[in-house]
């Protein structure tokens, strides 16, 4: 069983389905409202667990009602929570999500996620040392992202950096990542480049191997070589929330099978995830992915 450690955020997603996105100062009637577990760290942990990995999560929750709901949900998915802290007098992270026309707009309030510290990452050294892959995103403090990258290098464990929400990072940090998994917009921000520049040129300039997601087009990947293309899979789109998290989780789960295989499975898992509502609600299980890939060649 692949062992994956995720260092990242845990949120409650407040999701509104709307006929369209609202403009400044405008009020419209929505179609549906739901609360669903989310956060990039929690999403990736759940997705990896459903795909058959043994998963541990490093993160933080508030002492509010959302915090207990989120912990209970992660436990039901089989995610190990020994390194998830409860922060006193603090709310849990939230993401306010509007879904319209198959696309989404998201506002994230970090709350307890801002309390994930480098010391907490170091305290997870034992489980990270046994991991086959580590996933880290950027909804936690940047110093904790750096600590994860440095610990992975020290322990010779591959760290996959999902640079979202995107910020420009020091080149020295990027060199610590086994793979960086941006979309074109995020890669341009990481490198301080023009996002309209050809994405393949951006990939060549990156100081580390890049797996670049391109939505329906699939993904491009480069491991110190010329970028290669994995086409996307056609599916009816319901909600794109969580597709990137599913992609990253699958990449980490199947990385031991080689990068081309892992990217193909990641594209397929992400495609399945957008056919249902909700970030975690759409995440496929291992058998479903295997069956779907067998049907799609």
Q: Is 40 annotated as a binding residue?
A: yes
Candidate list 132, 194, 236, 245, residue with the active-site label:
245
Q: What angle do CA 195, 199, 203 make, to 5 degrees?
A: 115
Q: What's the token pair of residue 235?
A: 């599916």
Q: Is 245 annotated as a binding residue?
A: yes
Q: Quick check: 57 and 45 in contact, CB under 8 A?
A: yes
Q: Quick check: 8 and 135 in contact, CB under 8 A?
A: yes
Q: Is 30 annotated as a binding residue?
A: no
Cα gap 27→36, rounded to integer Å = 23
Q: Is 213 annotated as a binding residue?
A: yes
Q: Is 244 annotated as a binding residue?
A: yes
Q: Is 104 annotated as a binding residue?
A: no
Going by C-beta distance under 8 Å and a sequence separation of 6 or more, which residues neighbour residue 35?
Answer: 12, 13, 14, 15
Q: What's the token pair of residue 249?
A: 């989780």
The answer to whether 245 is a known catalytic residue is yes
Cα gap 101→241, rounded to integer Å = 12
Q: Is 47 annotated as a binding residue?
A: no
The DSSP H or E segment spanning 62 is strand 54-62
Q: Is 92 annotated as a binding residue?
A: no
> What φ, ψ does residue 11 adopt, rounded to 5°?
-130, 160
Q: Is 13 annotated as a binding residue?
A: yes
Q: Is 65 annotated as a binding residue?
A: no
Q: Is 258 annotated as a binding residue?
A: no
Q: What's the token pair of residue 268?
A: 């397929």
Binding site residues for K(+), as ranges?
Answer: 239, 241, 273, 276, 278
Binding residues for ATP: 183, 213-218, 244-245
Q: Would you list which residues are annotated within the binding site for substrate?
A: 11-13, 39-43, 139, 245
Catalytic amino acids? Answer: 245
- Which residues are known binding-site members? 11-13, 39-43, 139, 183, 213-218, 239, 241, 244-245, 273, 276, 278
């Amino acid at each position: 069983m692949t062992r994956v450690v995720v260092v990242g955020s845990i949120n409650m997603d407040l999701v509104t389905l709307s006929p369209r996105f609202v403009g400044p100062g405008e009020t419209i009637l929505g179609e549906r409202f739901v609360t669903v577990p989310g956060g990039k760290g929690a999403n990736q942990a759940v997705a990896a667990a459903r795909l058959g990995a043994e998963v541990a999560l490093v993160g933080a929750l508030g002492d509010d009602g959302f915090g207990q709901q989120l912990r209970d949900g992660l436990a039901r998915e089989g995610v190990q929570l020994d390194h998830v802290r409860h922060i006193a007098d603090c709310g849990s992270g939230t993401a306010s999500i509007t879904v319209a026309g198959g696309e989404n707009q998201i506002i994230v309030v970090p709350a307890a996620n801002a309390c994930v510290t480098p010391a907490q990452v170091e305290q997870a050294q034992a489980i990270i040392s046994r991991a086959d892959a580590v996933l880290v995103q950027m909804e936690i403090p940047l110093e904790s992202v750096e600590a994860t990258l440095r610990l992975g290098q020290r322990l010779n464990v591959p760290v996959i950096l999902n640079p979202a929400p995107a910020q420009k990072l020091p080149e020295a940090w990027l060199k610590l990542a086994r793979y960086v998994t941006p979309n074109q917009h995020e890669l341009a921000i990481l490198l301080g480049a023009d996002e309209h520049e050809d994405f393949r040129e951006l990939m060549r300039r990156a100081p580390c191997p890049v797996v670049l997601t391109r939505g329906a087009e699939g993904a491009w990947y480069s491991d110190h070589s010329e970028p290669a293309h994995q086409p996307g899979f056609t599916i009816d789109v319901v909600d794109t929330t969580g597709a990137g998290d599913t992609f990253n989780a699958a990449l980490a789960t199947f990385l031991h099978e080689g990068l081309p295989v892992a990217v193909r499975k990641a594209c397929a898992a992400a495609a399945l995830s957008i056919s249902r509502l909700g970030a975690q609600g759409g995440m496929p299980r291992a058998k479903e992915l295997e069956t779907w890939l067998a049907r799609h060649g």
